Amino acid sequence: MDLEKAHPFSAADVSIIIHATEDENKILDAIGSILSIDTDRFRHMESTGHWRNRIKRKPISKIGQTKDLSREDISVRIRQY
């Protein structure tokens, strides 16, 4: 990838919404792998959906660790999962 065309960034806020029917560990492992972060850093927030289904929100602020990734890199990696 041509570094002049890449759009690198140094900070990102990531918030993942996980519905009751989804595999939480699989999702967190994939995001952790894509962004090279420890999944233990995600905070845990839980709420109830319209049909009383459990919905989890996993926000994280990731600052200063994405300098080697561009938006395009992350987009490609996410599509692989």
CB distance 39 to 32 below 8 Å: yes
Model confidence pLDDT, tens digit, residues 5-14 = 555 566 677 8
Q: pLDDT, tens digit, for every residue of 37-50?
A: 788 888 888 998 88
Q: Which domains does the chain have, with CATH numbers?
A: 11-80 (3.30.1440.10)
State the DSSP H helix or E strand holding residue 28, giving kind and residue range, or none if neither: helix 24-35
- Over residues 19-74, the pLDDT tens digits come to 888 999 998 888 888 777 788 888 888 998 888 888 998 887 754 555 566 777 77
12 beta partners: 62
Amino acid 77 reads R
pLDDT at 66: 53
Say what the pLDDT of residue 68 is. 63
